[in-house]
């Protein structure tokens, strides 16, 4: 899978895949779309009728009888009714079609969200959270714009153009029709060429916007680190550097917009002047009435208003395309870890785990695991230890199938985990990670995350079993206390207890403890270890450990060194071997004694 494509430049052509993507949403609500189109036609009828009524009003006022009749009242009311009908039917059209665009935005937004959760860990380790959220937001907004204006502005505007050209040709001759047609062609051609030219400036502005937002979000997420190193000014300079690029891109964008609008205004002005000169000449010659002059003027104003808007719509569609392409590129990213067709659900009976000749690498030139083999029998607690970089945590990622193996197999109850669905595999495994990240919600709801369907009583029981009661009772709002973004308001030990309560609530037959106490002080560590032992009873457990004192009670200890299993056995057996484990053990004991002495 090539994640690099996500950051590539979107092309300048209209992406027809996007139209194919939107079409099913239009068809799902075809009755609403047809009703909206009906109101569109009625609005256009009202729009075209207006200038004709205005002509008759002016001609009636200009006649000799105008001294007797103050104003043709019926025509005035008819004109007002035509104008009102045009606006009313337009509003009804937008209101009815609004449901279609809103539902499409919702469904496409959900599709992107679900797709992101289906992508593998590698994508999320390399993503830019702030820029990603901006791309999705701009993409869904762009789709709404495209659906609404493509259907109800571009097509109707061209319909109105042909209607007006036909009226001019039939009623006033080829001169008026030709000026109108030439003006429309020039205006449309100039808009397309100029918009193509300035799309790159829109894209540059978007990229600069995403980059500055990414920088801001990244800095704020690491607020504590910034404070630790007093790097506020450094962060501000980096953010201002991104904002400077954004400012420059926006300036180019604005100047190119000025060129586009200026050229469009010149074409409209020349067309209007030519039409008015020709109409005035005809009125002076007596071949046209003042009412005809007013009608032509009204039609030209009425025509160029949507045509001017058409220029805006085309610009926005090109801008939207540039925005949406980022989101489409996201949807085109395919996960490298996939379920096989009709993969069965994993239903572990005894929860025996076996790693058989497992090999894995992120890059071929740097192998992480080589021929790793060990087993965990039902109800056993097996610990994996080794120096940093030995590949311990990689085993956890492979067991959860965040990555596929390079070689060998991992089986649960004799079933290869690559043969079953990822969802059922991960459902069967509970984990207490090294770094527990919590949602910005209450303590109670963070525990319930282990099983969103759990009742309040079940959540309360999990809290009790994880020994969270005393801690929660001291909080100002009890279990309703908010934990802050990523759980920043809680200490490491408190977050680990929440993780334990979550795992209890999940009720998985297999438990994984990934260096769950490595960042805790001795007192917290002992309390957490006691809770972990209680939780692990009756479960098949895999423990990734840094501090060997935490796993001396394990049924088996597997020692990894540079991605290979070098020793296996109980704590006592491994000490007798006087190999890697014994060396690690005595080194840690000396460090502990030094720490106590100081």
Q: Looking at the structure, tell me whether residues 409 and 439 fall in a common domain.
A: no
Residue 5 lies in a domain: no
Residues 466 and 568 in one domain: no
271: Cα separation from own chain's centroid: 45
Whose structure tokens read 């309360």? 460
Rounded to the nearest 5°, which phi and psi values hold at 247? -60, -45
Residue 579 lies in a domain: yes
> How many domains in the chain?
3
Do 414 and 289 lie in one domain? The reply is no
In a domain, 337, yes or no: no
Q: Which among 332, 403, 336 has a CA at the least distance from the CA of 5?
A: 332
Closest listed residue to residue 502, CA positions, set 466, 471, 467, 533: 466
Q: Stretch 429-453: mean pLDDT, rounded?
A: 86
Average of pLDDT values for 315-325?
A: 73
DSSP per-residue letters across 81-100: HHHHHHHHHHHHHHHHHHHH
In terms of pLDDT, which residue wins out, 297 or 431?
Answer: 431
Residue linked to tokens 């005595």? 586
Q: For 204-229, write each residue's pLDDT tens digit.
A: 888 888 888 888 888 888 888 888 88
> How much of the chain is helix, strand and coil, in % rounded to 5?
70, 10, 20
The rounded distance, in Å, linking the Cα atoms of 49 and 59 is 16
Percentage above 90 pLDDT, the chain: 12
In a shared domain, residues 537 and 491: no
Give the residue, 105 or 130, on which the prediction is more confident.
Answer: 105
Task: Assess whether 489 and 363 both reside in one domain.
Answer: no
* pLDDT grade for 14, boundaries at 50, 70 and 90: low
In a domain, 338, yes or no: no
pTM above threshold 0.75: no
Task: Categorize the per-residue pLDDT at 321 as very low, low, confident or very high, splitting at 50, 70 and 90.
Answer: confident
Q: What is the CA radius of gyration of the chain?
A: 35
Burial class of 427 by CB neighbour count within 10 A (0 to 12, 13 to 18, 19+): middle
Element (H, E) at 366: strand 366-376
Q: Are residues 186 and 266 in the same domain?
A: yes
Q: Is the pLDDT of residue 71 over 60?
A: no
Task: Give me the half-sphere count of Cα atoms (radius 13 Å) on the Cβ side of residue 322.
Answer: 19
Provide the CATH number for the domain around residue 207: 1.20.1560.10
Q: Which of 464, 480, 507 is the last residue of a domain?
A: 507
Please give the average per-residue pLDDT across 343-371, as a whole number. Answer: 87
Backbone angles phi, psi at 274, to 5 degrees: -60, -45
Task: Tell me: do 262 and 390 sit in the same domain.
Answer: no
> CA quadruple 452, 454, 457, 458: dihedral positive or negative?
negative
Same-domain status, 315 and 347? no
Domain residue limits at 574: 343-428+510-598
Residues 440 and 360 in one domain: no
Judge if 293 and 352 occupy the same domain: no
- Examine residue 43 and state whether it is found in any structural domain, yes or no: yes
In this structure, the strands spanning 556-561 and 381-386 are parallel
Under the phi-then-psi rule, with left for phi > 0, alpha for psi from -120 to 50, and beta for the rest, what region is 486? left
**Any domain includes 2:** no
If you average pLDDT over residues 80-108, what whole number do you get?
77
In degrees and rounded to multiples of 5, residue 53 shows phi and psi of: -65, -40
pLDDT of residue 2: 40
Identify the domain boundary among 278, 304, 332.
Answer: 332
Q: Are residues 221 and 246 in the same domain?
A: yes
Identify whether 394 is part of a domain.
yes
pLDDT in tens, 535-576: 778 889 899 888 888 888 889 999 998 889 999 999 999 999
Q: How far is CA 218 from CA 222, 330, 434, in A?
A: 6, 20, 22
- Among 535, 410, 412, smallest CA distance to 466 is for 535
Is residue 528 one of the residues assigned to a domain? yes
Q: What is the CATH number of the domain that holds 357?
A: 3.40.50.300
Tell me which of 507, 533, 558 is where a domain ends: 507
In degrees rounded to 5, what are phi and psi of residue 451? -155, 90
Give yes or no: residues 38 and 144 share one domain: yes
């Amino acid at each position: 899978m090539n994640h690099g494509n996500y950051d590539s430049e979107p092309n300048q052509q209209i992406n027809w895949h996007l139209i194919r993507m939107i079409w099913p949403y239009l068809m799902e609500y075809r009755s609403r779309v047809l009703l909206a189109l009906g109101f569109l036609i009625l609005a256009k009828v009202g729009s075209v009728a207006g200038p004709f009524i205005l002509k008759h009003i002016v001609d009636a006022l200009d006649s000799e009888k105008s001294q007797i009749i103050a104003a043709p009242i019926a025509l005035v009311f008819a004109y007002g009714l035509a104008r009102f009908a045009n606006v009313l039917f337009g509003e009804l059209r937008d209101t009815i079609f609004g449901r279609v665009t809103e539902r499409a935005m919702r469904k496409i937004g959900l599709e992107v969200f679900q797709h992101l959760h289906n992508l593998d860990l590698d994508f999320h380790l390399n993503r830019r959270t702030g820029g990603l959220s901006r791309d999705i937001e701009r993409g869904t907004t762009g789709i709404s714009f495209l659906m609404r204006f493509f259907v109800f502005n571009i097509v109707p505007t061209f319909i109105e153009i042909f209607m007006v050209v036909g009226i001019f040709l039939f009623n006033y001759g080829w001169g008026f029709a030709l000026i109108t047609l030439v003006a429309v062609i020039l205006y449309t051609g100039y808009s397309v060429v100029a918009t193509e030219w300035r799309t790159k400036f829109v894209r540059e502005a978007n990229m600069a916007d995403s980059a500055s937002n990414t920088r801001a979000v990244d800095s704020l997420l690491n607020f504590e680190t910034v404070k630790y190193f007093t790097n506020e000014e450094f962060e501000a300079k980096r953010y201002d550097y991104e904002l400077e690029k954004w400012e420059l891109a926006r300036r180019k964008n604005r100047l190119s917009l000025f060129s586009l609008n200026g050229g469009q205004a010149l074409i409209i002005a020349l067309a209007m002047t030519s039409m008015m000169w020709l109409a005035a000449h005809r009125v002076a010659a007596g071949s046209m009435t003042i009412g005809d002059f007013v009608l032509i003027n009204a039609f030209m104003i009425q025509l160029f208003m949507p045509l001017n808007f058409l220029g805006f719509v085309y610009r926005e569609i090109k801008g939207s395309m540039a925005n949406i392409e980022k989101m489409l590129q996201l949807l085109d990213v395919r996960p490298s870890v996939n379920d096989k067709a009709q993969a069965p659900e994993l239903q572990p009976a005894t929860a025996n785990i076996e790693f058989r000749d497992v090999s894995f690498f992120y890059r071929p030139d740097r192998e992480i695991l080589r021929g790793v083999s060990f087993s965990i029998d039902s109800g056993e607690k097996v610990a994996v230890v080794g120096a940093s970089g030995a590949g311990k945590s990689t085993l956890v990622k492979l067991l959860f199938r965040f990555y596929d193996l390079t070689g060998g197999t991992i089986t649960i109850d004799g079933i290869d985990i690559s043969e079953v669905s990822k969802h059922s595999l991960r459902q069967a495994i509970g984990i207490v990670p090294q770094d527990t990240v919590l949602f910005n919600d209450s303590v109670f709801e963070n525990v319930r995350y282990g099983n969103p369907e759990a009742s309040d009583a079940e959540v309360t029981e999990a809290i009790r079993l994880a020994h969270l009661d005393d801690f929660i009772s001291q909080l100002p709002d009890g279990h309703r206390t908010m934990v802050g973004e990523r759980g920043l308001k809680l200490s490491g030990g408190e977050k680990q207890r929440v993780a334990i309560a979550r795992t209890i609530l999940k009720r998985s037959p297999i438990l994984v403890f990934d260096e769950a106490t490595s960042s805790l002080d001795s007192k917290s560590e002992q309390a957490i270890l006691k809770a972990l032992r209680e939780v692990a009873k009756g479960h098949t457990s895999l423990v990734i450990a840094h501090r060997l004192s935490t796993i001396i009670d394990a049924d088996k200890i597997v020692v990894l060194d540079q991605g290979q299993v070098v020793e296996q056995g109980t704590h006592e057996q491994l000490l007798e071997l006087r190999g890697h484990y014994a060396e690690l053990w005595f080194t840690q004991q000396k460090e502990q004694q030094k720490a106590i002495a100081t």
